[in-house]
Amino acid sequence: MSFSENAITVLKSRYLKKNGLGEVIETPDEMLQRVAKHIAQTEKDFDYWYEKFYEFMASLKFLPNTPTLVNAGNPLGQLSACFVLPVGDSMEEIFEAVKQTAIIHKTGGGTGFSFSRLRPKGEVVQSTKGVASGPVSFMKVFDCATESVKQGGVRRGANMGILRVDHPDIMEFIHCKEKEGEISNFNISVAITDDFLEKLANDEEYDLINPHTKKSVGKLKASLVWDEVATNAWKNGEPGLVFIDRINRLHQIKGVEIEATNPCGEQPLLPYESCNLGSINLSKFVKDGAVEWEDLKETVHTAVRFLDNVIDVNNYPIDQIKNETLKNRKIGLGIMGFADMLVDLNVAYNSQEGINIASKLMDFIQSQSHIASSDLAQKRGCFPAWEESIYKDQNILMRNATTTTIAPTGTISMIADCASGIEPYFTLAYHKQVLDGKKLKYVNERLLDRLQSSGINVEDFLEELIANGGRLKGLNVPKSLEDLNEVFVTSMDMDYTAHIDMQAAFQAYTDNAVSKTINMPNSASVDDVKQAYLYSIKKGLKGLTIYRDGSRNVQVLVSASNKSQSQSIKRGNILKGITEKLKTSRGSLYVTVNTLDGKPIEVFANIGKSGGDISALSEAIGRLISIALQNGVDVEKIVGTLINITGAQPIWNEGRLIKSVPDAIAQVLKDHFLDKKVEKNYEECPECGGVLEEVEGCAVCKNCGYSRCS
């Protein structure tokens, strides 16, 4: 087996065992052996299945979800990624759910909640004569608890908050994340009902139902709520939509109701259910321009057995979760590397042939996973709730209530060195900024292989590609490479219908749901968002996440006085930037410049070791520059003011004369933002400077594994 250099970096950072000093004490191969041994322990023929599980992970044809890779064979032993917890309408139930959330996050899981059972804001609570504060206020309690777990040194857990569209507090919920930093540990989605969609189609009002009394307490115009949802999604990507009645109509267990999903929306679950996930790497199943169906079939069957074993060897964090999970035995087998497969088949992602391949592929995986589960049922028995399932009506034995889910594959796709989930490529090439001002070039390997065999000047072409935002579209491509324009498409090379068509093709053959981002250009309108919503309903999706490019990096106009307006920049929690180290007569100076839409808005200057007044003055200069930049002062004016200020001891630094700390800061700004104005249409990772991709319902970095959702 062999991992790429990038995969090794991710494994060392997030997966391999470490000692008390934080030193890595496990190799990637030992990690896979540890996982295979743990999952095979229930097998009678342990040696055979240990080897089998190890080999198909080592081949990178399949990888389980992150908690399994991290915790299998380790003391925590919690192997599931997805959980849904109920939130009841009493103080005791609410804070019991808060406690359970913290326990789950500590073990590496993500949690989803419906807050629809909570009585609306302002209602009198009879037992205490107090006034209810409403769902949004309690979401903030969950958010603070999540933040505290993160601050305690444990990787942050991700949450999904869902509220039914007919809850009286729905408007407050839709707007609850408008303020930057509010409820930042949650994704939010509105649960859309069939009744609401009917009223929307007829341009009518619909009833708001108090969940405590089950009575109508008012009405809202459906189109008004629709507009508010679309407008907020246009602004910052949230809320998403969950078509809750459709989910329940298609649920495999009868007589029970799903009310929430996991953090990225692809796994609808009953209260206290969990689900363990795993993904097949499709980039490994193309040979000589054709799909290797027999190899894929064997991998599906092995993966189903692997995931079913996970249910039995799992160390469940809460007894109720163990009971519900064992009752239904849901597993979520998904895929990654689909974009790679299409390139290897020489098929465009946004083509009818691409859609046809997606349908055929997922139909095959779905049917084979059901056959594998049925085979296991004959040997191990059906899941206990089988009597209440659709499978009894069909007289089909099944070991698992569900077998397939298209889940996010952020970090495991980095380990497998393949494209994420079913997403198209985000960018084909870019520069990654690292310390000391150096740049590393990232290029899609499949594209690089074709370029290198074409005979063109690859380096010059790549520079043009990067300057074009990593997209081939719009470049003057040599005739010998014109076919690349068709095959190497990115998420911004297609309209929303192509994204939705692809999600729908996979959803049609997936038991649970599909995690995918519907990317839109920055120029998209609110009406475009609404049209995408309607198209997704027509195509049969269970949920939808829309992200308009750059929508989270906005500049707002605020009034400075009655007579004038100045442009003040709204700073988000995460900014892209560069850090450069320079020698000065006072010691090493680290200058960090953070940017928004490629423009500097924030400067930090830290002088090493000297401390005292010079350190304070360096910090002060950075703060003053930041205020100036954020209030419309041109960077050229700032550079002109500071450059060539001469201190007591000028010093040479790599061929540049550094005259003082302010001169050094000015030179950094000049070098990066005046001499070379390179436009970037992506957001950089705050940990490594790589590209943050808005995919699978979350922002992830394919270089280091950073994710906003975990």
Both tokens assigned to 680: 């970037």
Choose the CATH number for 89-261 among 3.20.70.20, 3.40.640.10, 3.40.50.720, 3.40.50.12280.
3.20.70.20
Alpha-carbon distance 697 to 683, whole Å?
16
The rounded distance, in Å, linking the Cα atoms of 209 and 83 is: 27
Residue boundaries of the structural domains of the chain? 5-79+262-416, 89-261, 568-680
Contact 81, 407 (CB under 8 A): yes
State the pLDDT at residue 678. Answer: 39
pTM of the model: 0.82
Q: Which residues contact residue 478 at a Cβ distance below 8 angstroms, ignoring those fewer than 6 apart?
A: 454, 456
**The token pair that represents 601 in the structure block:** 């808005």
Rounded Cα distance, 74 and 53, in Å:
18
Residues 6 or more apart in contact with residue 73 via CB below 8 angstroms: 34, 35, 37, 38
Task: Name the nearest CA neighbour of 6 among 688, 700, 703, 686.
Answer: 703
Which of the following is catalytic: 264, 698, 704, 709?
264
Enumerate the H helices of 417-523 as residue ranges. Answer: 445-452, 458-467, 482-487, 496-507
Task: Specify whether the CB–CB gap between 139 and 186 falls below 8 A.
Answer: yes
Question: Strand 159-164 and strand 110-114: pairing?
Answer: parallel
The CATH code of domain 5-79+262-416 reads: 3.20.70.20
Chain position carrying tokens 């009879």: 126
The Cα–Cα gap between 308 and 311 comes to 5
The one-letter amino acid code at 649 reads Q
Please tell me the distance from the alpha carbon of residue 305 to that of residue 311, in angstroms, as a whole number.
10
What residue type is assigned to position 337 of the chain?
G
**Residues in Cβ contact with 41 at an 8 Å cutoff, skipping those fewer than 6 apart:** 313
User: Would you report the helix, strand and coil content of the chain in percent, each value rounded to 5?
Assistant: 40, 20, 40
Residue 703 tokens read as 């270089």
Pairing verdict, β 290-291 and 268-269: unpaired
Cβ–Cβ under 8 Å, residues 49 and 43: yes
- Sequence-ordered list of residues with C-beta below 8 angstroms from that of 148, at least 6 positions apart, any chain: 102
Q: Under DSSP, is residue 253 helix (H, G, I), strand (E, B) or coil?
A: strand
Phi-psi category of residue 63: left, alpha or beta, with phi > 0 → left and psi -120 to 50 → alpha: beta
Closest CA to 656 of 604, 589, 605: 589
CB 698 within 8 A of CB 408: yes
Of all helices (H) and strands (E), which one includes residue 268? strand 268-269
Amino acid identity, position 368: Q
Indicate if 82 belongs to the active site: no
Burial readout 323-356 (b: 16 or more C-beta within 10 A, e: otherwise)? ebbebbbbbbbbbbbbbbbbbbeebbbbbeebbe
Q: Take residue 164 and report the two structure tokens written for it.
A: 């039914």
Instruction: Enter the tokens of residue 358.
Output: 């997606």
Range 396-416 burial, b when 16+ CB lie within 10 A, else e: ebbbbbbbbbbbbbbbbbbbb
Give catalytic status of residue 266 as yes or no: yes
Q: How far is CA 628 from CA 560, 623, 641, 673, in A?
A: 14, 9, 12, 15
Of 71, 159, 262, 594, catalytic: 262
Structure tokens at 547: 């992200």
Q: In a 10 Å sphere around its CB, with 0-12 CB exposed, 13-18 middle and 19+ buried, how is residue 465 labelled?
A: buried
Other Cβ atoms within 10 Å of 476 Cβ, number: 6
Helix (H) or strand (E) holding 415, with range, is: helix 410-416
φ and ψ at residue 498, rounded to 5 degrees: -65, -40
C-alpha distances (whole Å) from 687 to each of 376, 432, 578, 579, 707 are 44, 12, 11, 12, 10
DSSP of 538-590, one letter per residue? HTT-SEE-EEETTTTS-EEEEESSSS-EEEEEPP-S--EEEEEEEEETTEEEE
**Which residue in 123, 238, 259, 266 is the catalytic one?**
266
CA angle 266, 272, 275 (to 5 degrees): 40
Residue 440 and residue 429: Cα distance in Å, rounded? Answer: 11
Mean pLDDT, 10 residues at a time, the chain of 710 residues: 84 92 94 98 97 97 96 95 95 96 91 97 79 94 87 64 98 91 91 98 98 96 97 94 98 97 96 97 97 98 98 97 98 98 97 98 98 98 98 97 95 93 93 58 91 89 90 86 91 95 98 96 94 98 93 40 43 80 84 86 79 81 89 85 78 78 89 61 61 78 73
Q: Do the first three CATH levels of 5-79+262-416 and 89-261 match, i.e. the same topology?
A: yes
User: Catalytic residue at 262?
Assistant: yes
The total number of residues shown for the chain amounts to 710
Whole-angstrom distance, CA of residue 166 vs CA of residue 198: 13
Helix (H) / strand (E) containing 242: strand 240-243
Residues in contact with 701: Cβ distance below 8 Å, sequence separation at least 6, in sequence order: 685, 687, 688, 690, 691, 692, 693, 707
